[in-house]
Amino acid sequence: MAMNILKTSKINIEKVQTKNIYRELDLQSWNRKDQYEFFKDYDNPFFNIVANINVTRLYEFCKKKNISFFLSSLFCSCKAANAVEEFRYRIKDDKIIVYDTIHAGSTILHSDNTFGFCYFDYFEDHRKFAAHAQKEIEQLRKTKKLEPRVDADNLIHYSVIPWISFTSFQHARNLGTQDTIPKIVFGKHFQEGAVKKMPVSVEVNHALLDGYHVGQYFERLQQTVDTVA
């Protein structure tokens, strides 16, 4: 999971105050009320979709600028997820809330091949996001701790499996909890003709999202990957 970190020494970063700013969704007027009621009490309400993203342009951009492909991919994904409102839905105290902004929590590999959880505020600016993320990674690697945040749900949970171009994925789950946080995994990118692709796994709670919304995320992700600067 080695990465070239974005050179950001001249960027002035103000820490994002990750306040839990949200509104409550009006369940009675929600067009997915029936679907929510149908899936919310499932023992396992999660479904997973894996698709390959064309990362040719992003990879070449990162190589040319000598910046982290991982952090750039993470930025693109956070931007895409924030653009699809349903990815900001969570169930809290039997109510559905909609966060204004969601952030990222990702596994980061330590030098002894264990991992820890690192948390990144979302910035709309690519360079600010990467500069902040670099500092958080450096801090985590000093402690070499796991650092789970079980009380934070204004996140997307990310993992990276850079050794395998997987075609399916399944997460460990604690089904005794009211977990509604989407989980996204990046796999090993691979060459297919002139195109470089990367598998991306998206797992969501079916009470809050359908395949349509995951499709919107993938569409937004591809657009962002193709245009990020």
The answer to whether the CB of 116 falls within 8 A of the CB of 140 is yes
Cα–Cα dist 97/81, whole Å: 16
With both helix axes pointing from N to C terminus, report the angle between 211-227 and 69-83 in degrees, rounded to the nearest 10: 130
| Residue ranges per structural domain of the chain | 49-203+210-227
Give the DSSP H/E element, type plus range, for residue 11.
none
Query: Which string of DSSP letters, residue by residue, matches 126-176?
Result: HHHHHHHHHHHHHHHHHHT-----TT--SEEEEEEETT---S-------TT
pLDDT at 19: 63
Average pLDDT over residues 178-195: 96
Cα–Cα dist 177/148, whole Å: 15
Residue 195 scores a pLDDT above 90: yes
**The pTM of the whole model exceeds 0.75:** yes
pLDDT at 177: 73
pLDDT at 155: 96
Average pLDDT over residues 219-227: 98
61-95 burial, b at 16+ Cβ within 10 Å, e below that, comes to: bbeeeebbbbbbbbbbbbbbbbbbebbbbbbeeee
Residue 3 scores a pLDDT above 90: no
pLDDT band at 173 (very low <50, low <70, confident <90, very high): confident
- What's the pLDDT tens digit per position in 114-139? 999 999 999 999 999 999 999 999 99
Residue type for 225, please? V
Cα–Cα dist 151/18, whole Å: 13
Cα–Cα dist 198/93, whole Å: 37
Q: Which residues are registered as beta bridge partners of 49?
A: 202
Residue of 22, 6, 3 whose CA lies nearest to 129:
6
Percent of the chain with pLDDT over 90: 84
Beta-strand relationship, 195-205 and 183-187: antiparallel
Six-digit token pair at 90? Answer: 């969570």
The CATH superfamily of 49-203+210-227 is Chloramphenicol acetyltransferase-like domain (3.30.559.10)
Neighbours of 204 (CB within 10 A): 25
- What's the pLDDT tens digit per position in 89-118? 999 988 999 999 999 999 999 999 999 999
- What's the pLDDT tens digit per position in 207-216? 999 999 999 9
